Amino acid sequence: MRAIGIDVGGTKVLGVVVDDGEVVAEHRVPTPTTGHALIASLVLVVRELRGVVADAAAVGIGLPGLVDRHGILRYAPNLPGVVELPVAREVAGALGLPVAVDNDATCALRAEHAMGAARAARDVVLVTLGTGIGAGLQMDGVVVRGANGFAGEAGHMVVEVDGIPCPCGRRGCWERYASGSGLGRRGREEGEAGRAPALVALAGGDPLAVRGEHVTVAARQGDEVALALVDEMADWTAVGLVNLLQLLDPGMFVVAGGLAEAADVLLGPVSAAYRRRAVSAEHRPPVDIVMAELGERAGAIGAAIFAATGAESAS
Amino acid sequence: MRAIGIDVGGTKVLGVVVDDGEVVAEHRVPTPTTGHALIASLVLVVRELRGVVADAAAVGIGLPGLVDRHGILRYAPNLPGVVELPVAREVAGALGLPVAVDNDATCALRAEHAMGAARAARDVVLVTLGTGIGAGLQMDGVVVRGANGFAGEAGHMVVEVDGIPCPCGRRGCWERYASGSGLGRRGREEGEAGRAPALVALAGGDPLAVRGEHVTVAARQGDEVALALVDEMADWTAVGLVNLLQLLDPGMFVVAGGLAEAADVLLGPVSAAYRRRAVSAEHRPPVDIVMAELGERAGAIGAAIFAATGAESAS
């Protein structure tokens, strides 16, 4: 069955048509800043894709943040202009097609399970390391959505009670340390302190312009400061992964999201830090940490799978 | 169907016979300190119960710590003399009866779901607050056991990276702060500093003998120091509960374990702290925090339910 899947990211809205496990069409637009414009963009992406593949009749949408089981985006820290938006109803109404909506990390999990790194796995935690951190959970073969559909907000697990303030209102959330934002923040701190000339150079000479990508690029070039920051971030990543291990006992971790593109510099340090921090390791089978295989398209592919496999849909 | 359920606690082994949702017999012995003696005690408890109810033919056992899906107790921090013990196989071999084994908090969850505080709930997190902290998880109507059967080790979720050392080998585990052990530790600290005369008196005059129960007893009597310690412990409890909320999105929390007996002094402060710390509350339906209803028998009742309802059994 041909289905359309769309992933709403912090910078782009990416739509695909999936046909029998293959992506056969793709369209992307920048992420707008208001709810009204977001609905219009989603409708536009579907229409573009149906211009290519006319018989794609089910639409799935993956959204960041708290997406409830009625297809309403309740709250999304990374889309500050958007709250309480009935995405499924509005897009379905504009298109006259069934629309299913779920959390973006949960969609990525569905995709990696169906055709990526987690094929045939029963208990999987997929962690998206990007600007923030999200998680998709599959336990005992069942995708965990939670009472409202909000499960998997792993980035807002507090790992340091009086830690760095988070836009969510708490302090010490995991994503303040282990995400691309955390890596960028530490890069700026080191840059401002005059200890990271390579990072500042990559950022065009402005210490305050250092971002996570500059750190991973410098680390790839062998810069000592960047490598140390990657190790530090890897250690924070391991803190949260071991928490998830304790709570959920997955058979594997899949790492996805923007930072997965820096797998060459990140995966080694994360795996090493995980092994250092793992508890009662002698009584547990080892748990693999693997990279996602579907890249930036995972969320959109998973949204299409969700639409095609009988989610609750508005139409 | 009549089934035997046994819960192995830190101090006692408690067995029950459950018949159609009623406990019709009960037997208890002290918890032994070696694996060999534990098997003998379990066999003894079953024989005693079958002396009362001869046709109880399925046996379930709830154990603390890491219990795998083959019925092996791999590691239990609170039973230090016991590692890698094939409980299901040895007890089944001695008795000639089928034996099913699971984690004690997961058993308590099964019991509270079947006949206690979580009747008819679909997404439930049961948290046992005792000497340590455990959790039983039911998501989308499915009891979550994890890849190995180890899911629910919530007490070893790190909430303070450089926090208090934990016997598990990490630092800052939730149960160092939010359990009865955490309450006792703070009571001893205040007692040693000369700030908690009421607690020291309850402990027989020795500040180092103050335990969690002394704090809850003094709080019940209105002692200001004890009330402040309960508030502090309630706040730590809320930190972890909100982490679980973010990760799992339960429809309700059930609080069980030894501290549930101090519900009169604890539930109010825990609920208040939870409301203070809950995030994006305006976008989420409220989540109830309720006390378990089955008391100290929950684990044993749940083990009987597990045995009766078709778990993997050794026999």
B313 within a domain of the structure (yes/no): no
Are A259 and A220 in contact by the 8 Å Cβ rule? The answer is no
In a domain, A277, yes or no: yes
Whether A250 contacts chain B with CB within 8 A: yes
Is A146's CB within 8 Å of B160's CB? no
**Cα B99–chain centre separation:** 21
- In a shared domain, residues A196 and A220: yes
Q: Which residues form the domain of B138?
A: 119-292
A248, B149 contact by CB (below 8 A): no
- How far is the C-alpha of A246 from the C-alpha of B152, rounded, in Å? 7
- B1, pLDDT greater than 90: no
Q: Is residue B275 part of a domain?
A: yes
Residue A249 near residue A138 (C-beta atoms within 8 A): no
Q: Tell me the nearest-neighbour CA distance from B2 into chain A, angstroms.
A: 28
A chain contacts of residue B236, beta-carbon cutoff 8 Å = 161
A283 to B122: CB separation less than 8 angstroms, yes or no? no
Does the beta carbon of A309 lie under 8 angstroms from any beta carbon of chain B?
Answer: no
What are the residues whose beta carbons fall under 8 Å from the beta carbon of B45, sequence distance 6 or more? Answer: B6, B13, B15, B27, B28, B29
Q: In this complex, is the C-beta atom of A139 within 8 Å of any C-beta atom belonging to chain B?
A: yes
pLDDT at residue A78, as a whole number: 78
Predicted TM-score (pTM) of this structure: 0.95
Separation CA B2–CA B45 (nearest Å)? 16
Q: Which helix (H) or strand (E) holds B176?
A: helix B175-178
Same domain, A204 and A303: no
Partners of B247 on chain A (C-beta within 8 Å) are 135, 137, 151-154, 157, 244, 247
Beta carbons of A172 and A178 less than 8 angstroms apart: no
Instruction: Judge whether B267 lies within some domain.
Output: yes
Q: How far is A173 from chain B (nearest CA, A)?
A: 9
Q: What is the pLDDT of residue B68?
A: 96
Checking if the pLDDT of A292 tops 90, the result is yes
CA atoms within 13 A on the CB side of B27: 16
Q: Starting from the edge strand earliest in sequence, which strands make up the sheet with A58-63, in order? A: A22-30, A12-19, A2-8, A58-63, A99-103
Q: In what order do the strands lie in the sheet with B66-67?
A: B66-67, B72-75, B83-86
For B81-87, what is the mean pLDDT? 93
B60: phi then psi, degrees, rounded to nearest 5: -120, 145
Q: B145: which chain A residues are within 8 Å (Cβ-Cβ)?
A: 140, 249
Could you say which of B146, B243, B279 has the minimum Cβ distance to residue A139? B146
Query: Is residue B29 domain-shared with residue B102, that is, in the same domain?
Result: yes
Q: Is A55 on the interface with B (CB under 8 A)?
A: no
Query: Could you give the CA distance from residue B128 to residue B10 in angstroms, rounded to a whole number?
Result: 13
Tokens matching residue A55: 């018989």
**Is residue A199 a contact partner of residue A190, using CB atoms and an 8 Å limit?**
yes
Distance of CA B86 to the CA centre of its chain: 21
The torsion angle over the Cα atoms of residues A117, A120, A124 and A129, rounded to 10 degrees, is 20
Nearest CA-CA partner of B22 in B63, B51, B48, B56: B56
In Å, what is the CA distance from B12 to each residue of A268, B33, B104, B297? 45, 11, 13, 11
Between B79 and B313, residue with greater pLDDT: B79
Same domain, A243 and A275: yes
Q: What would the pLDDT profile of A184-214 be if each residue is shown by its tens digit?
A: 999 999 999 999 999 999 999 999 999 999 9
What confidence tier does B76 reach under pLDDT thresholds 50, 70, 90? confident
Using a CB–CB cutoff of 8 Å, tell me whether B156 touches chain A: yes
pLDDT over 70 (residue B310): no
Question: Residue A169 pLDDT > 60, yes or no?
Answer: yes
Q: A154 and B246: CB-CB below 8 Å?
A: yes
Q: How much is the pLDDT for B246?
A: 96
| pLDDT category of residue B81 using cuts at 50, 70 and 90 | confident
Residues A147 and A280 in one domain: yes
Cβ pair A154:B247 closer than 8 A: yes
Q: In B, which residues are within 8 Å of A157 by CB distance? A: 157, 243, 246-247
* Most A-contacting residue of B109, B133, B158, B164 (CB-CB within 10 A), to test interface: B158
Q: Which of B144, B168, B251 sits opposite A140 (nearest CB)?
A: B144
Q: Among partner residues B137, B236, B284, which is closest to A150 by beta-carbon distance?
A: B284
Burial B193-222 (b: 16+ CB within 10 A, else e): eeebebbbebbeeebebbbbbbbbbbbeee
d(CA A257, CA A181): 13
Say yes or no to pLDDT of B312 above 90: no
Examine the domain organization and report whether B204 and B124 are in the same domain: yes
pLDDT per position as a tens digit, A13-60: 999 999 988 999 999 999 999 999 999 999 999 999 999 999 988 999
Q: Does one domain contain both B126 and B96?
A: no
DSSP SS3 for A100: strand
Residue A315 has pLDDT above 60, yes or no: no
For residue B215, pLDDT over 90 is answered with yes
- The answer to whether the Cβ–Cβ distance between A75 and B280 falls below 8 Å is yes
Does residue B274 belong to any structural domain of this protein? yes
Phi, psi of A158 (to 5 degrees): -75, 125
Q: What average pLDDT does chain B have?
A: 94
- Give A261-300 as a DSSP string: GGHHHHHHHHHHHHHHH-SSGGGS---EEEE-SSGGGHHH
C-alpha of A54 from chain center:
29
Residues B78 and B142 in one domain: no
Q: Do B28 and B125 reside in the same domain of the chain?
A: no
Report the half-sphere exposure of B280 (CA within 13 A, side-chain side).
23
- The residue with tokens 């410098």 is A218
Q: Looking at the complex, does the CB of residue A200 fall below 8 Å from at least one CB of chain B?
A: no
Give me the pLDDT at residue A43, please: 98
Per-residue pLDDT, A10: 83
Q: Is residue A315 part of a domain?
A: no
B156-174 pLDDT tens trace:
999 999 999 998 889 999 9
How large a percentage of chain A has pLDDT more than 70? 98
CA distance A124 to B147: 9
How confident is the model over A77-114, as pLDDT tens digits? 778 889 999 999 999 999 999 999 999 999 999 999 99
Supply the ipTM of this predicted assembly. 0.95
**Contact predicate B248/A151, CB 8 Å:** yes
CATH code of the domain in which B25 resides: 3.30.420.40
Q: Is B151 touching A (CB cutoff 8 A)? A: yes
| Residue B315 lies inside a defined structural domain of this protein | no
User: Residue A258 — pLDDT band, cuts 50, 70, 90?
Assistant: confident
Q: Does residue B315 have a pLDDT over 70?
A: no
**What is the tally of structural domains in chain B?**
2
**Residue A24, SS3 per DSSP:** strand
* Contacts of residue B282, Cβ cutoff 8 Å, sequence gap at least 6: none
Together in a domain, A286 and A300:
no
Paired tokens of B71: 């019925």
Q: Which residues of A touch B232 (CB under 8 A)?
A: none
Q: Is A272 on the interface with B (CB under 8 A)?
A: no
Q: Which residues 62-101 in chain B show a CB within 8 A of chain A?
A: 66, 74-75, 83-84
Same domain, B271 and B162: yes
Q: Are residues A146 and A237 in the same domain?
A: yes
**Stretch (H or E) spanning A189:** helix A180-192
Residue of A nearest to B152 (CA): A247
CB contact under 8 A, A247 and B249: no
In a domain, A146, yes or no: yes
